[in-house]
Amino acid sequence: MRRQLLIGLDVGTTAARAVAITANGRVAAEASAPYPLLTPRPGWSEQNPRDWIEASRSVLRQVALDSDGEVAGLGLTGQMHGAVFLDAADQVIRPALLWNDQRTHNQCLAIEARLGRRLLEITGNPALTGFQAPKLLWLRDEEPEAYARVTSVLLPKDYVRLFLTGERLTDASDASGTLLLDLRRRTWSDEVLDALELPAGWFPAVLESPERAGRLDASTAADLRLPVDTPVAAGAGDNAAAAVGTAIVREGLVSSSIGTSGVVFAHTDRPRPDPSGRLHAFCHAVPGAYHLMGVTLAAGGSFRWWRDLLGEISDGLDYDRLAALAATVPPGAEGLLFLPYLSGERTPHLDPLARGAFFGLTTSHGLGHLTRALMEGVVLSLRECLDLMMESGVRVEEVVATGGGARHPLWRQLQADVYGLPVRRPVAEEGPAYGAALLAGIAAGVYRDVIEACGVVTMEASAVAPDPHKHHLYDELLGLYRSFYGSTRGAMQALGALGK
């Protein structure tokens, strides 16, 4: 009997990635295919949805070819918040607007003016430029001829689903990032749609992430070299899928991801929106569950900027060399702090005009000091988000480190010391596609539920323990760190205006 395989497909911002796993969680094959990011104007971020289709076809064919087994199910995940505008013939009307597109500031103000506090009460979030709802209003305001042709709107992964299955469906985790979902009812909000004058018929039915959401028809299956009628799971937004892939599926567990951005993700059994909107509150991929999420826009991105900047001087200063220099410097970098707001900031400040800065520079500070301060500043920014989560009642027992911040010992130790919590990492980290594959296993009947599926996820046996003395020092530094944004916000915004 051939072994069962499960495939997860991630429609990411820079590439599509597919991973095939066995029922016991072992990776059998993986493939990725890049596609371009379009920036027709400053602050605009778009992609051609057909590029997602071609890349998805390529990676699905590749993992089908490279893996030995019978594919039992397919799960989808991808970048959240994007808007794919379709006409009556399901043709794309214009390039999709992505999560990091910044053109909708005026539309966000209009949404807040129309709904006020009700927006946060219903959706769990304030109006932010990245979400889907303001993109719809922008199209209506700025491209009325295109808006007049719209008959449906899909999120990125769900447009790929339409190609794969012909079904127009989504899941609660991804839909909760549109600013149009009733967070508690886990369905589209008539009140929000009415206030924004958006037709309810434009939006797909909302399922829970492990539910079946279509099957591959004969022609698509033959094209992809996959079995006919392969069940396709509803799937999840990328962060929720990644949380499934690292078993963040019960209260007490939090993930801390340091990639280009930094994300702190906490599972909650009930909705816990932050009253001030400083954290994101979304549905989880676990049916009936939720999550809180804090985002630092330039986490590993700050480290990459620093490496690239120094690389103009010396090509020997790679990530490992810089981290080694930082490790020679004591905690606190001898009185130096860094704010990682190189791309503005998402949470907790919701300020696109926030700017990065080193504070406390003296002639005694060298390259190692600046590098350590930068790394500490990134983790302190995530600590701000973690503290807000705990203030809302989230219980935290342990942190699972993922992304680039899980690979180097100094990054892991910094997280343990700054958070004051043990930090563990998964044995194999395959990102959102891995979680999507586990969701596919539930839709296909391989696993009973998300908890059983996550039983195949393994963590390293030993955790990195916090150093009590260093944690006390970082608690003191955190007070100073928090004070700098408020005291320099006006100057940051003035400099931002001058830089335009």
CA distance 214 to 312: 51
Decide if 240 contacts 173 (C-beta within 8 A): yes
Decide if 259 contacts 249 (C-beta within 8 A): no
238 included as an active-site residue:
yes
Phi, psi of 50 (to 5 degrees): -65, -30
Catalytic residue among 51, 238, 274, 417: 238
- Catalytically active residues, by annotation: 238
